[in-house]
Structure 1
Amino acid sequence: MPPLRIALVDDHPIVRSGFRQLLEMEPGWTVTAEIGSARELGAWMLGGACDVMVMDLTLPDGDGLVLIRHVLAQRPGLAVVVLSMHDGMLFVQDALSAGARGYVTKRAAPDELVDAIRAVSAGEVYLGTDVRTQGNDGEQGGQEHLLPELTLREAQVFLLLARGHSVARVAATIGISNKTAYAHRANIYQKLQLRSDFQLHELALKRGLVS
């Protein structure tokens, strides 16, 4: 089989180093790039190459969901695996909607990342064990259960606004029109009795949805 080239996108050098050692133990696998920011990713995209990209959703200068869409717009055939601290089904669904083929949380056993890369490189979709468990339970897991007043889509918009996204960026991230995003925000304000994005962020802090 031809060598498998992997790029690691995470802002923590120790995390990247640890996973690099793990992945390069697999025969024929090589980590061709360690990338720590959206800016570095943009520069690497000009000439770098890989078969699988492992990406954290939280970078200091960019949102992983937006970056996935940008990367895949330039390289539609690239297999992306999300490796994230977030285990809520909202994040999983948004990542898959953006084009990711795999989703593994950072609490998972290290071998799960190996399994995910092996699966997506073969054209399959892979969800980590803890993510699959949430889905099989038929319950909302992680963060979204703290927003029972909202629909699933409204909860997605709420979380993105709480993370500091503009309405236009929310629309681009989850693939809806600006008009629809504004309508969702208006519904959120009404249901949660909010008057501003500042109050929305304060509520997100109170409920432990953002740090």
Structure 2
Amino acid sequence: MRALRIILVDDHPIVRAGFRQLLDMQSGWGVVELGSAAELAAYLRGGEVDVLVLDLSLADADGLVLIRQVLAAKPTLPIIVLSMHDSGLYVQDALAAGAMGYVTKRSGPDEIVDAVNAVAADQQYLSQDIRAYAQNPAAGNLHAPELTAREAQVWLLLARGHTVARVARTMDVSPKTVYAHRSSIYTKLGVSSDHELRQLALKRGVI
């Protein structure tokens, strides 16, 4: 039986090495470590992969945009997000971008193994600490009950420091749509600038 080929992309070598050790312990799995979106792009031009494990917070790319770019080239590739973020908004964005799994870095060590097994079998996997989101998608919006799910996504991205143009690319919508959402968010949250949006996001624990 052919080995399961797993690509692990994280720009922190110690974190990457730890997760690779867990994956390498599984019989029949072959793991390649990469440290950047650029390295991933180079690998995908000629290398083979069955499962991609991807950190959202890479230094050289927006993880959500990268998911869409990878899936545009390899539509059937299962992608697992491996992230320090456990907010339902991050989970919602990752799944909307096309990820099949989401595992937080605080999860138990067996969960990354379970996630790879699940997505390789074409099944969605969420780590236990965020599984409530799957049972109740509205839970992802608890930090911002005033907002629609779409507005909450825009708020999250703006709070992370993204420009309107970058938000539009990430969400695959027009800048005009983002501006309209931002105006509504300002009104509903009682703020008047992106700086205030970020401060509120920090206060509510969104970022």
TM-score > 0.5 by shorter chain: yes
- Number of the residue aligned with 2:179: 182
State the Cα distance separating 1:44 from its structure 2 match: 2.6
Aligned AA (1:194) = V
Provide the rounded CA distance (Å) in 2 between the counterparts of 1:138 and 1:42.
32
Query: Following superposition of structure 1 onto structure 2, how do residues 106-145 of structure 1 map, counting pairs within 5 Å?
Result: 106-136=105-135, 140=139, 144-145=141-142
1:15 aligned partner: 15
User: In 1, Cα distance between the equivalents of 2:144 and 2:5?
Assistant: 40
1:43 — aligned with what? Answer: 42
Match in the other structure for 1:203:
200
* Local SS of the residue matching 2:102: strand
Report the 3-state secondary structure (helix = DSSP H, G, I; strand = E; otherwise coil) of the residue aligned with 1:140. helix
CA-to-aligned-CA distance 1:48-96 (integer Å, 9 cap, x gap):
3211010111112222111100111111121101111122222222111
In the aligned structure 2, how far is the partner of 1:204 from the partner of 1:133?
21
Q: Report the secondary structure of 1:5's partner residue.
A: strand
Distance 1:96 1:139, change over 3 A: closer
Question: How far apart, in 2, do the equivalents of 1:42 and 1:194 lie?
Answer: 39
Q: Cα deviation per residue 1:113-132 (whole Å; 9 max; x = unaligned)? A: 11111111122222222222
Q: Corresponding residue for 2:189?
A: 192
Percent of residue pairs identical: 62
What pairs up with 1:86-125 in 2 under 5 angstroms? Answer: 86-125=85-124
Cα RMSD between the aligned structures? 1.9
Q: 1:204 to 1:138 in 2, by over 3 A?
A: closer
Deviations 1:161-183 (A, max 9, x none): 11111222212222333222111
Q: Give the secondary structure class of the aligned counterpart of 1:133.
A: helix
Q: Residue 138 and residue 205 in structure 1: after superposition, are their counterparts in 2 closer, same or farther (change >3 A)?
A: closer
After TM superposition, give the deviation of residue 17 of structure 1 in Å.
Answer: 0.8
1:81 aligns to what SS in structure 2? strand
Output the TM-score relative to the length of structure 2. Answer: 0.90
The whole-number CA distance in structure 1 between the counterparts of 2:69 and 2:134 is 28
Alignment TM-score, normalising by the size of structure 1: 0.89
Aligned residues of 2:89 and 2:156 also touching (Cα < 8 A): no
Check conservation: 2:68, 2:98, Cα contact below 8 A: yes
Instruction: Note the residue ranges of structure 1 that are not aligned, 5 or more in a row.
Output: none
Q: Letter of the 1:19 partner, please give it.
A: F
User: Quick one: distance in 1 between partners of 2:206 and 2:196?
Assistant: 14
